[in-house]
Structure 1
């Protein structure tokens, strides 16, 4: 089965066209080599794909006949993605939401002053040093 069709069948991509584009952009590797969309996939192959800033690592267990339901996906692949990848994504999400919520508009004067106070280094006074 083609790698783009396989990734579509096991629900990593919503459409085959999106899976094909990911292959063309070099986001997908099979056994450590960049994969064209037409690359054949066999059981025991390791597929690495980058999606949503996460490098997913999959092992092909079996080849589905056609697109499978979400509950049956684990029959056809084994997800070996490390947990640190998902934690890193959560940290990125939290850091984006830390300062300003999306859609709140431009920073106010008070926001600018707070940013300036945060980025300014404290001044060091050397005049009191009489050693």
Structure 2
């Protein structure tokens, strides 16, 4: 079992509880502004304590977790789940997601009419 600590770096903690596949990916997400602690943009060295709310934006969804226990060593998935309380919004089913404008491969550059239809679809 991993040793418990009183404070932990946000990049190490998010990696240890398996929100990111590697610690370098966790640090890169922090530097890119995809990680927030208590609503404030977090640098990789930002310290987290139990009770902090961590927002992680990545892929197709946003994860919102409440820090329950601090660890800095990567542990198994069943142990990692006990270190946070997941408050993430429910991911909508695929049929309810917004449509994405896709063009056929090799169709060339969009015409003015195509561009207007794409902008209308996106809501611009």
Equivalent in 56, 74, 80 of residue 49 of structure 1: 56
The aligned counterpart of 1:63 is: 70
Deviations 1:66-100 (A, max 9, x none): 111011122100110121xx116x3487956xx89
Deviation at 1:3, TM superposition (A): 0.2
Matched residue, 1:32:
39
Aligned with 1:87: secondary structure?
Answer: coil
CA distance in 2, matches of 1:65, 1:87: 32
Select 2:83's aligned residue among 62, 76, 80.
Answer: 76
- What residue ranges of structure 2 are gaps of 5+ in the alignment? 1-7, 108-113, 118-124
Greater helix content: 1
* Consecutive unaligned residues in structure 1, runs of 5 or more: 108-115, 120-131
Task: Mark the structure with the bigger radius of gyration.
Answer: 1
SS of corresponding position for 1:43: coil
1 CA distance for matches of 2:22 and 2:72? 16
**Paired positions, count:** 102
Q: Using structure 1 for the length normalisation, give the TM-score.
A: 0.66
Q: Over the residues paired in the alignment, what is the CA RMSD in angstroms?
A: 2.6
SS of the counterpart of 1:57? Answer: strand
**So what's the TM-score if we normalise by structure 2?**
0.70
Question: More strand by proportion, 1 or 2?
Answer: 2
